[in-house]
Structures are given as C-alpha cells and as structure tokens.
Amino acid sequence: MSESNSLTVTKRDLVQRISDSTGQTKVLVRDIVQKFLDEVSNELIRGNRLEFRKFGVFEVRARPGRIAQNPKTLEKVQVPPKRVVKFKVGNVLKKRVESGVLEAPKETPLTSAPPPAHPGNSDGIPGF
C-alpha cells in the first residue's frame, strides 16, 4: 500500500545521495550500484535466495500453470507456469518503516580504512 504523497526514487537519485554523502564520484558510485544490482539479478536468475539480515530476503518461487478465465469474454485460457521474485521484509526494516523515523545520513567520506563496526552489526551498515 502506498501513501498518496510518496515519491518515486530512481537509481540516479540514490547514486547522487551516496556520492554526496561519501565524497565519491557519481561515476564510481553508479558503477558500484549497477554491479550490485547485476549480482542480485544474476543470483535470482540462478534461483538462489538472497538474504540481507535485518533488511529482508529475496527468493524465486515457481508458480504452477493454471486455467484462468478472461473476464470480458468468459473464455477459459491456459496460464503457463512461471518463476516470480518474492521479497519478505526483515524485522528491523519493518519496524523502521512502521515508525516512519528516518536515520540521519552520515556525512563522512569514505577512506581506505574500513568504518568502525557498529554494536551488533557485523557488516558496518547503520540500522541493519
């Protein structure tokens, strides 16, 4: 269910935000974001399950073929089997969306040293 005042955020918008907050060039950020999306897509095409702890799980499910009915003509039609992507939201993301509270973006540029680990967070991603 979407809210009436929601906006569409594009990959370009996210690249700009990440570039601004990290000090990295838009070209570099765009390439990294695209590589990430390509890898996610490839894993789903392979039928693999992708789990991002506290964020959610993407998985491919098989839908069997079935007989459906055209609502205009009432004609029976065969719907072929297909594979679909499902997303199940993680508990932390679910609570954050329900609360509506945004996490303040960090304005620290990336350096060659890894960021300090957050308590209870093995991957260093704030809030996840």
Burial state string for 92-103 with b = 16 or more CB within 10 A and e = fewer than 16 = eeeebeeeeeee
More confident residue, 109 or 88: 88
pLDDT value of position 27: 98
Residue 113 has pLDDT above 80, yes or no: no
For residue 127, pLDDT over 80 is answered with no
Task: Say whether pLDDT at 118 is over 60.
Answer: no
Task: Show Cβ contacts of residue 74 under 8 Å, excluding neighbours closer than 6 positions.
Answer: none
pLDDT for the residue 21 = 94
Domain ranges of the chain: 11-99
pLDDT tens digits, one per residue of 50-93: 999 999 999 999 999 999 999 999 999 999 999 999 999 999 99
Indicate the pTM of the whole model: 0.71
pLDDT confidence of 103, banded at 50, 70, 90? confident
**Cα–Cα nearest to 37, from 108, 81, 85:** 85
Q: What is the rounded CA–CA span in Å between residue 14 and residue 77?
A: 42
Q: What is the mean pLDDT of the chain?
A: 87
**pLDDT band of 5, cuts 50, 70, 90:** confident
What dotted CATH number matches 11-99? 4.10.520.10
Residue 115 is predicted with a pLDDT of 53
Nearest to 58 by CA among 45, 77, 72: 45
